Amino acid sequence: MIRFNPTNAAAFVPAHAVAQLLPQLELAHRQLLDGSGPGADFRGWIDLPARPDTEELARIREAADYIRREADVLVVVGIGGSYLGARAVIEALQSPFAASQTAAERGGPQIVFAGHQLSGSYHAELLDWLDGKRVCVNVISKSGTTTEPAIAFRILQRYMESRYDEEEVRRRIFVTTDANRGALLDLARARGYARFVVPDDVGGRYSVLTAVGLLPIAVNHDIDALLAGAAAAREAWLHVDDPLTAPPYAYALWRNALLRAGYDTEFLVHYDHQLRWFVEWWKQLYGESEGKDGRGLLPAGVEFTSDLHSMGQFIQDGRRRLIETVIRVNTPCRSLSVPFDEADGDGLNYLAGRDLADINARALEGTTLAHVDGGVPNLQVEIETIDETSLGWLIWFFEFACGLSGYLNAINPFDQPGVEAYKRNMFALLGKAGYEDLAASLQERLGR
| Site track for ligand PA5 across 410-439, x = CB under 6 A | ------x--x--------------------
Q: Is 176 in the site for ligand PA5 (CB under 6 A)?
A: no
Q: Which stretch binds ligand PA5 (CB under 6 A): 15-23, 136-144, 352-360, 377-385?
A: 136-144
Distance CA 359, CA 356 (A): 5
Residues acting as catalytic residues: 288, 309, 423
CB of 419 to ligand PA5, least distance (A): 6
Strand-pair category, 265-270 with 298-303: parallel
CB of 402 to ligand PA5, least distance (A): 11
User: Which residue's CB is nearer to ligand PA5, number 94 or number 141?
Assistant: 141
CB of 90 to ligand PA5, least distance (A): 17
User: Which residue's CB is nearer to ligand PA5, number 203 or number 213?
Assistant: 203
User: Which residue's CB is nearer to ligand PA5, number 419 or number 430?
Assistant: 419
What is the DSSP track for 203-259? -GGG-TTSHHHHHHHHTTS-HHHHHHHHHHHHHHHSS-S-TTTSHHHHHHHHHHHHH
What does DSSP assign to residue 327? E
Closest residue by beta carbon to ligand PA5: 204
| Site track for ligand PA5 across 309-348, x = CB under 6 A | ----------------------------------------
User: Which residue's CB is nearer to ligand PA5, number 24 or number 425?
Assistant: 425
Q: Which of 87, 123, 172, 205 binds ligand PA5 (CB under 6 A)?
A: 205
Cα distances (Å, whole numbers) of residue 189 to 57, 176, 183, 185, 201: 20, 12, 10, 6, 22
Distance CA 307, CA 127 (A): 33
Q: Which of 8, 31, 110, 141 binds ligand PA5 (CB under 6 A)?
A: 141
What is the DSSP track for 153-202? HHHHHHHHHHHS-HHHHHHHEEEEE-SS-SHHHHHHHHHT-EEEE--TT-
Q: Which of 199, 203, 243, 312 binds ligand PA5 (CB under 6 A)?
A: 203
User: What per-residue string of b and e applies to 97-128 under the rule 16 or more CB within 10 Å gives b?
Assistant: ebeeeeeeebebbbbbbbbbeeeeeebeebee
Query: What is the identity of the amino acid at 25?
Result: L
Under a CB-based contact definition with an 8 Å cutoff, are residues 82 and 140 in contact?
A: yes
Distance CA 115, CA 183 (A): 16
Q: Which stretch binds ligand PA5 (CB under 6 A): 59-67, 135-143, 228-236, 377-385?
A: 135-143
CB of 154 to ligand PA5, least distance (A): 14
User: Which residue's CB is nearer to ligand PA5, number 204 or number 213?
Assistant: 204
CB of 212 to ligand PA5, least distance (A): 8
Single out the residue of 145, 226, 119, 216 nearest to residue 174, CA to CA: 216
Q: Which of 91, 266, 272, 288 binds ligand PA5 (CB under 6 A)?
A: 288
Q: How many residues line the site for ligand PA5 (CB under 6 A)? A: 15
Distance CA 57, CA 336 (A): 38
Q: Which of 82, 157, 380, 409 binds ligand PA5 (CB under 6 A)?
A: 82
Tally DSSP H helices, then E strands, for the chain: 18, 10
CB of 93 to ligand PA5, least distance (A): 22
CB of 79 to ligand PA5, least distance (A): 5
Distance CA 100, CA 333 (A): 20
Q: Is 149 in the site for ligand PA5 (CB under 6 A)?
A: yes
Distance CA 21, CA 374 (A): 26
Q: Which of 39, 80, 287, 406 binds ligand PA5 (CB under 6 A)?
A: 80
What does DSSP assign to residue 146? -
User: Which residue's CB is nearer to ligand PA5, number 87 or number 205?
Assistant: 205
Q: Is 143 in the site for ligand PA5 (CB under 6 A)?
A: yes
Distance CA 267, CA 19 (A): 23
CB of 283 to ligand PA5, least distance (A): 11
| Site track for ligand PA5 across 233-272, x = CB under 6 A | ----------------------------------------
Strand-pair category, 135-141 with 173-177: parallel
Could you list the residues that contact ligand PA5 (CB under 6 A)?
79-82, 141-143, 146, 149, 203-205, 288, 416, 419
